[in-house]
């Protein structure tokens, strides 16, 4: 994986082992230096050999063995122990305050759904991430932002089943034995239908939690967009119509019963979204959403994050805007305010 001023798209497919091997090869030039400077990895690595880590792997193998095989093949290509890379892909379960942020905006009209997303992560990865196009055997295939060494899918992605997904980190204080959230987010991209994806998030035993903004077409051909807080304790699914936004803490009714960490940045971004959305009207376009995600004003910490002293150790690495229609998903990516990638992810293509 090279340092790029624009995003290249790397294509791969086949078996889980073939996909994982290629993901590892892409990450290898930057991965060792990335992990050496990562305070998150220093904290996660303390869980080596723990019973909880072994239980997480057992749950992942029971429900989604192909994705565990993908991680193991990635580890082999990186010359990393498989158990270490699996730990890294469970960082949300193990340290609760993982440095993955994000802000998502969404709206749905009868014609289309719109999901726009700031991908906020470790500033060390600025210019060191990529977009991957993956075609697993027997699955629809998808396009996703890719952090080196992490399963694709826990960021922003669109599948050839007509689904779009954007993920927001939520910081759950009380994880439990279940499927790690990054593996569950990856599994959504294998779903054949929107209903299947929602059922996966509702019914799979979850180890911690993510917020999923999920768009697609229902059985009647109608575009739908959902806000899903899928956590260790509950799965809250809310259909969206009017413009809405989500930062990095639980906000659905009932969330007050679940212990979570709410950072100042997340609280300030959620409040700023509430200030900005009314001015966009009932049917904002992608340009308005992207402009909102580049906002640096407001009384608190900003939506667009480029301060090296960010209190959560996160910067905005990319901005995506995905337009969901019955024919598929239009997938555009910006870096530093410049559109650097545009793809049409067509259904069944």
Whole-prediction pTM value?
0.96
pLDDT of amino acid 6: 61
**SS3 at position 314:** coil
Cα gap 121→101, rounded to integer Å:
6
Cα gap 345→322, rounded to integer Å:
10
Query: 150: burial class by Cβ within 10 Å (0-12, 13-18, 19+)?
Result: buried
Task: Tell which phi-psi region holds residue 348, choosing left (phi > 0), alpha (psi between -120 and 50) or beta.
Answer: left
Nearest to 248 by CA among 128, 129, 121: 121
CA distances from 141 to 24, 26, 348 (A): 19, 19, 9
Cα gap 116→300, rounded to integer Å:
21
What length does the chain have?
349
Which residue ranges of the chain lie beneath pLDDT 70? 1-6, 99
Please, what is the Cα angle at 278 between 273 and 279, to 5 degrees?
Answer: 105
For residue 172, how far is the Cα from the chain centroid?
A: 16
Enter the tokens of residue 307.
């301060």
Nearest to 267 by CA among 285, 281, 250: 250
**SS3 at position 89:** coil
- Biggest alpha carbon distance in the chain? 52
Nearest to 99 by CA among 55, 29, 40, 43: 40
Cα gap 228→281, rounded to integer Å:
23
> CB-based contacts of 115: which residues, under 8 Å, 6+ apart?
104, 105, 106, 156, 164, 166, 213, 215, 225, 320, 321, 322, 324
Cβ pair 70, 19 in contact under 8 A: yes
Fold of 1-349: Penicillin V Acylase; Chain A (3.60.60)
Domain boundaries, the chain: 1-349
């Amino acid at each position: 994986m090279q340092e790029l001023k624009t995003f290249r798209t790397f294509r791969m497919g086949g078996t889980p082992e073939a996909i994982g091997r290629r993901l590892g090869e892409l990450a290898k030039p930057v991965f060792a230096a990335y992990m050496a400077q990562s305070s998150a990895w220093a904290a996660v690595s303390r869980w080596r050999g723990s019973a909880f880590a072994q239980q997480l792997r057992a749950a992942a193998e029971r429900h989604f063995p192909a994705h565990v095989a993908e991680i193991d093949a990635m580890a082999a290509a990186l010359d990393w122990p498989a158990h270490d890379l699996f730990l890294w892909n469970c960082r949300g379960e193990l340290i609760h305050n993982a440095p993955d942020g994000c802000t998502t905006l969404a709206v749905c009209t009868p014609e289309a759904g719109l999901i726009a997303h700031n991908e906020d992560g470790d500033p060390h990865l600025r210019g060191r991430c990529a977009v991957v196009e993956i075609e697993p055997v027997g699955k629809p295939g998808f396009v996703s932002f890719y952090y080196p060494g992490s399963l694709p899918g826990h960021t922003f992605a669109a599948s050839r089943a007509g689904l779009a997904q954007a993920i927001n980190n939520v910081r759950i204080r009380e994880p439990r034995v279940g499927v790690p959230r990054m593996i569950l987010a990856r599994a959504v991209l294998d779903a054949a239908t929107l209903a299947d994806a929602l059922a996966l998030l509702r019914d799979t035993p979850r180890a911690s939690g993510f917020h999923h903004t999920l768009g697609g077409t229902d059985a009647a051909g109608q575009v739908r967009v959902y806000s899903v807080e899928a956590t260790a304790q509950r799965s809250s699914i809310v259909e969206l119509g009017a413009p809405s936004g989500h930062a990095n803490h639980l906000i659905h009714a009932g969330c007050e019963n679940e212990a979570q960490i709410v950072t100042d940045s997340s609280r300030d971004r959620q409040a700023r979204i509430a200030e900005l959305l009314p001015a966009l009207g009932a049917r904002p376009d992608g340009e308005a959403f992207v402009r909102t995600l580049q906002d640096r004003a407001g009384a608190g910490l900003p939506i667009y994050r480029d301060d090296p002293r960010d209190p959560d150790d996160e910067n905005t690495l990319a901005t995506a805007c995905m337009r969901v229609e019955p024919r598929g998903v239009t997938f555009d990516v910006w870096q530093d305010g410049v559109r650097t990638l545009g793809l049409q992810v067509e259904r069944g293509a």
